[in-house]
Structure 1
Amino acid sequence: MDAWLVDLDRTAPTDITANYPEGLTEDELRRGAEFVHARAAHRFFRARLAVRRLLADRLGTDPHGLRIHYDPAGKPHLPDHPGTHISWSRSDGLLLLGATESGPIGVDVELVRPETTNLDVLAFVYPAMPRTASPETFFHAWTLLEAAVKATGRGLTEGAGDVGLTFPADGSVFLHGIDGHGPDPWYGHTRLEPTRQDAPWAMTAFVSHELRPPALIPWPPRTARARPARARPGGLAAVA
């Protein structure tokens, strides 16, 4: 699996394509025009262009000719490269992108802000969450859940009940399976990553059939200001 964490506020149009915004599809231009704030629109445009640029580089093809289609549930796929599975997620100025040939993949990224830690929302979406869960579990659980339903293409409304999460007493969260989606085991990993955003950290999550977590590639390259978290299989991130 390959994975990139893209800082959209550091990514200039010329870093992505020489034809900004002409490299976008008509649908993407229409969606971008619906944003009220220019900054949000440019983040959206840069995210879509970065996805094409990074995937095209990996596949050895032209970014402008890379076709990205979506199934009825909104899961992206590459019709010209059916063996490559992709997923991406955005949180404000961050984009997390994953690609693999091992089977379905789901990724999620969330900026870690205390005010967005809402266990009531998580309990509504995932009633199996124990009432004794601590606020520290929120970002582990939420991103794992989002990544899992993206991997299956079911979405939170229909797919959350298929996902099995375990909540140990130490505040960690583990993915122990996804029901009804094939016999191969699913593996989940969460990891804290430093970020330049107003929140000092971002939680990233990966769900796939791969036992090992990916080596996350920051893009554009950055100078580390803190040691990143070390991911453990199942979803527990231990600070290195």
Structure 2
Amino acid sequence: MLDAHERERLARFRRPDDAARYLAAHALTRRALGAHLDADPAALVFDRTCRCGEQHGKPRLAPADHPDAPGFSFSHAGDVVGLAVHDGPVGLDVEQVRPLADLAGMAAHACAPDERVADDGQFFRLWTRKEALLKSTGEGLSTPMADISIAGDGAVRWGGRAVWLLDLSPAPGYPAALAGPGSAPPAVTEADGRALLRP
């Protein structure tokens, strides 16, 4: 089902768990988009062109093949793999809460001047929110997380951009967030994707 780019990336993983997460995320994406578009999952063509011109950017369906294709974003951490499909740009991130050797250093990288995190759980909640926002624009971590400020009520200040942000909790110890451009979030339906991964 995977294309040459995905197979080459999969072959580079040294740890079986990392390879399994990568494979699950890409297979789930192909199966879900194939079902959405009534298309063969293996025949879907992805464009990964980054702003620099290389093929390591946020994947999207090739517009020549699917001009009305939905936006999508996938993420994986620990035992959780997630996929978001939306009729516009969307970003999804999930992280596994784990002890950080340098919480202060990581917080200095991720927090805006008016933000504080007291523990690892708060840090990963903040990280998923900001990563989802960055993924929704396709900018990824090329834009500093500290440029985004998220208030306690979830309001986002990010250079005047209008964005929506939703917290998700797919499993205990796994904060996740969903984001996109616009003033109001869409209705969100969460579903178990394991059925799509069965042969």
TM-score grouping bracket, smaller chain normalisation: 0.7 to 0.9
Mapped partners of 1:117, 1:96: distance in 2: 27
Q: Identify the residue that residue 54 of structure 2 maps to in structure 1.
A: none
Match of 2:118 among 134, 147, 161: 134
Mapped partners of 2:67, 2:77: distance in 1: 27
Q: Identify the residue that residue 61 of structure 2 maps to in structure 1.
A: 78
Mapped partners of 2:26, 2:103: distance in 1: 29
Name which of structure 1's ranges 70-79 and 141-150 shifts more when overlaid on structure 2. Answer: 70-79
2:190 pairs with 1:216: yes
Q: Identify the residue that residue 87 of structure 1 maps to in structure 2.
A: 73
The higher relative CO (CA closer than 8 Å, separation ≥ 6) is in 1
Change (3 A) 1:59 1:162: farther
3-state DSSP of counterpart to 1:89: strand
2:172 pairs with 1:189: no
Mapped partners of 1:90, 1:50: distance in 2: 11
Q: Identify the residue that residue 174 of structure 2 maps to in structure 1.
A: 202
Residue pair 1:163, 1:178 contacting (<8 A) in 2 also: yes
- CA apart distance, 1:205: 0.2
The structure with the largest helix share of the pair is: 2
Aligned residue type for 1:75: K
3-state DSSP of counterpart to 2:191: strand
Residue pair 1:125, 1:157 contacting (<8 A) in 2 also: no
The structure with the largest strand share of the pair is: 1
Mapped partners of 1:58, 1:129: distance in 2: 41
Percent sequence identity over matched residues?
28
Aligned residue type for 2:169: L
Mapped partners of 2:149, 2:67: distance in 1: 28
Residue pair 1:123, 1:129 contacting (<8 A) in 2 also: no
Name which of structure 1's ranges 204-213 and 49-58 shifts more when overlaid on structure 2. Answer: 204-213
Residue pair 1:192, 1:202 contacting (<8 A) in 2 also: yes
Q: Identify the residue that residue 27 of structure 2 maps to in structure 1.
A: 49
Aligned residue type for 2:45: R
Residue pair 2:168, 2:176 contacting (<8 A) in 1 also: yes
Change (3 A) 1:159 1:87: farther
Q: Identify the residue that residue 124 of structure 1 maps to in structure 2.
A: 109
Change (3 A) 1:126 1:64: same
Aligned residue type for 1:72: C
Residue pair 1:177, 1:187 contacting (<8 A) in 2 also: no
- CA apart distance, 1:98: 0.8
Aligned residue type for 2:122: T
3-state DSSP of counterpart to 1:140: helix
2:82 pairs with 1:96: yes
Change (3 A) 1:213 1:190: farther
Mapped partners of 2:3, 2:31: distance in 1: 14
> What is the RMSD of the two structures over their aligned residues, measured on CA atoms?
2.4
- CA apart distance, 1:161: 4.7
Mapped partners of 1:116, 1:190: distance in 2: 25
Change (3 A) 1:213 1:189: farther
TM-score by length of structure 2 reads 0.79
